[in-house]
Amino acid sequence: MKDLYPGLEFGKATRDAYGEALRDLGRDHPEIVVLDADLAKSTKSATFGEAFPDRFFNVGIQEANLVGMAGGMASCGKVPFISSFAAFVILKGYDQLRMAVSYPKLNVKVVGSHGGISIGEDGASQQSVEDVALACALPDFVVCVPSDEHQMRAVVKAAFEHNGPVYIRSGRPKAPLIYDATPDFAFGRAAKLREGSDLTIIANGLLVASALVAAERLARDGIEARVIDMACVKPLDEDAVRAAAEETGAIVVAEEHLVHGGLGARVAQAVCTSQPVPIEFVGLDDTYAESGDPAALMRKYGLTWKEVEAAARRVVSRRAGAAR
């Protein structure tokens, strides 16, 4: 994976940071309970379970029951964090997320690990390419896709402090470092990582690193890209999107997800209701992926800095065409 992010240092996987952040929060907050569905060693919720076994429930391979139990616990004052692979907790627990969490607005935090296709060799059944779209479709849910270990820690803390349902996607591989310490973070507020006036690249997850690499390459040709880390997909920082449209006039959205229904769709909605400008999308185009080395998958399915750079050049040229 290192070849995909030239010039960037690597930190821990966001799933590792999740387990540690949860354990740290658990020390001061006895109301936190953690549930997993037989993937605790993979999602890293086991890090909490080892520290607080009395507040940790491994429900076995029962995603529907996992979500329902969490709803019951939340209605009795607990703050449940529930984990499984993103593909399982969202898809197999979806009706339960609707009935036992979203509809009654209960204080449940859902953390789906192994998001995207960078999980690699296990293949498409374990990869999650539609979780963000589905989570965003649940009313009252906050939806976040952190880019690195530091941001994950900030997101977990914000999720605990927020009274309501939250979905967080974590990733399997070690992630390039975007921040050097836990950043300031609030739901609905984007982080501007790089200033630029020619276009804006809005990304989350691993694609934030790709965006930064692409921006460096573009700068060699005099194209200055603003880069925004939009970890919080919902609520979207519409002010940041509007400013990007007004001030840079062209937008690329990049995410490790289907291009429909995720960050790209939400950014497009915000743009077309404020300041319409050309947008290009980097993501999976109506397809599942397959087994393979994570880096090979990211290349084959077009989720590297190269695709982001190409999209940037396309969108800048579209804007120039529109101006003529």
Partner 1 sequence: MLHEAASGHPGGSLSAVEIVTALYFGGVLRHDPENPEWPDRDRFVLSKGHGVPVQYAALAMAGYFPIDELSTLRKIDSRLQGHPVLGTAPGIEASTGSLGQGLSIGLGMALAARLDANDYRVFVLLGDGECQEGQVWEAAMAAGHHRPDNLIAIVDYNKFQLDGATADIIGLEPLAAKWESMGWKTREIDGHDMRQVLDALQWSMSAGEPACIIAHTVKGKGVSFMEGENAYHGVAPSDDELARALGELDGEDPEEQHAHALGSDHVLEEAEKSIDAESQANGKGGAR
CA-based torsion, 78, 134, 257, 224: positive or negative: negative
75 binds partner 1 (CB under 8 A): yes
Q: Of 14 and 96, which has the nearer Cβ to partner 1?
A: 96
Complete DSSP assignment for 117-136 = STT-TT-TTT-BSSHHHHHH
105 binds partner 1 (CB under 8 A): yes
52 binds partner 1 (CB under 8 A): no
Contact assessment for residue 73 and residue 80, using Cβ atoms and an 8 Å cutoff: yes
| Region binding partner 1 by CB under 8 A among candidate stretches 60-68, 249-257, 300-308, 315-323 | 60-68
137 binds partner 1 (CB under 8 A): no
| Alpha-carbon gap, residue 316 to 324, rounded angstroms | 13
Q: Of 98 and 242, which has the nearer Cβ to partner 1?
A: 98
Nearest Cα neighbor of 162 from 183, 140, 180 is: 140
* Shortest Å, Cβ 92 to partner 1: 10
Instruction: Read off φ and ψ for residue 44, nearest 5 degrees.
Output: 75, 10
In the set 25, 34, 59, 168, which binds partner 1 (CB under 8 A)? 59
Q: Of 71 and 283, which has the nearer Cβ to partner 1?
A: 71
Helices (H), the chain: 14-28, 40-43, 46-51, 63-75, 86-91, 94-97, 131-136, 149-161, 207-220, 238-248, 263-272, 294-300, 305-323
In the set 95, 121, 195, 293, which binds partner 1 (CB under 8 A)? 95
Nearest Cα neighbor of 206 from 253, 136, 259, 255 is: 255
Complete DSSP assignment for 91-107 = HTTHHHHIIIIITTT--
Q: Of 77 and 321, which has the nearer Cβ to partner 1?
A: 77
* Shortest Å, Cβ 53 to partner 1: 12
* Shortest Å, Cβ 61 to partner 1: 9
In the set 28, 54, 184, 286, which binds partner 1 (CB under 8 A)? 54
| Alpha-carbon gap, residue 219 to 312, rounded angstroms | 11
181 binds partner 1 (CB under 8 A): no
* Shortest Å, Cβ 98 to partner 1: 7
Catalytic one of 63, 255, 256, 307: 63
Whether 255 is catalytic: no
* Shortest Å, Cβ 55 to partner 1: 7
285 binds partner 1 (CB under 8 A): no
In the set 33, 177, 252, 311, which binds partner 1 (CB under 8 A)? 33
How many CB atoms within 10 Å of residue 143? 29
In the set 51, 64, 124, 219, which binds partner 1 (CB under 8 A)? 64
# of chain residues touching partner 1 (CB under 8 A):
31
Number of H helices and E strands in the chain, helices first, is: 13, 14
In the set 22, 46, 67, 223, which binds partner 1 (CB under 8 A)? 67
76 binds partner 1 (CB under 8 A): yes
| Alpha-carbon gap, residue 251 to 201, rounded angstroms | 6
User: Which DSSP category does 116 fall into?
Assistant: B
**Pairing mode, if any, of strands 79-85 and 142-144?**
unpaired
Residues that bind partner 1 (CB under 8 A): 33, 54-55, 57, 59-60, 62, 64-65, 67-78, 80, 95-96, 98-100, 103-106
Catalytic residues: 63
